[in-house]
Amino acid sequence: MPPPADTTSLQEHRLGLLVWKARQIRQAVTAFEQAWPPLPPEPAVPVFGWSQLQRQLTDLAPPELQPLVADLVSAIRKESAAKPAEMVLREILTITATVLDDGFREKYAEDPTML
C-alpha cells in the first residue's frame, strides 16, 4: 500500500532540499578550490576533536556569545566531510575571528537573530 500523497510530497520536498544543499556545498567547494588550489603535502597539524575545538572556542568567546559557539561548530562539523580540510580550517578561523570581534558582539547584542 503506497503512503498517502501528502507524505510522498513531503518526502519529495525533503529530498529536493537535500539535493539543493548538496549542490550548494559542491559549488562552494569548487569556488574555494579555484581560489585556493591544493598545496603539496606537508606534515599535518596535531589532531584534535570537535569537542576540544568547541571547548576552546567557548572559552575564548565572551559570555554572551558562548551559547552560540556550539551551533557554529555543529554547522561546520556537519558539512566538513564534503569539504577540503583547508576550507574547514578557514571556517574555523572565521568563527574564531567572529566571536572575538567586538563589533560583532555589539551587533549581536542588538539583534541576536542576525545569524
Confidence band of 4 (pLDDT split at 50, 70, 90): low
Q: What is d(CA 91, CA 32) in angstroms, rounded to the nearest whole number?
A: 11
Q: Predicted confidence band at 115 (pLDDT cuts at 50, 70, 90)?
A: low
The pLDDT tens digits of the residues spanning 13-23 come to: 888 998 998 99
Eight-state DSSP code of residue 111 = -
Q: With cut-offs at 50, 70 and 90, classify the pLDDT of residue 2.
A: low
Domain boundaries, the chain: 1-37, 49-114
pLDDT in tens, 22-79: 999 999 999 999 999 989 999 988 999 999 999 999 999 999 899 999 999 999 999 9
pTM score, whole prediction = 0.75
Say if CB 60 and CB 21 are below 8 A apart: no
Please give the Cα distance from 114 to 104 (Å, whole number). Answer: 10
Asked if 86 and 48 count as a contact pair (C-beta separation under 8 A), the reply is no
Other Cβ atoms less than 10 A from the Cβ of 76: the count is 18
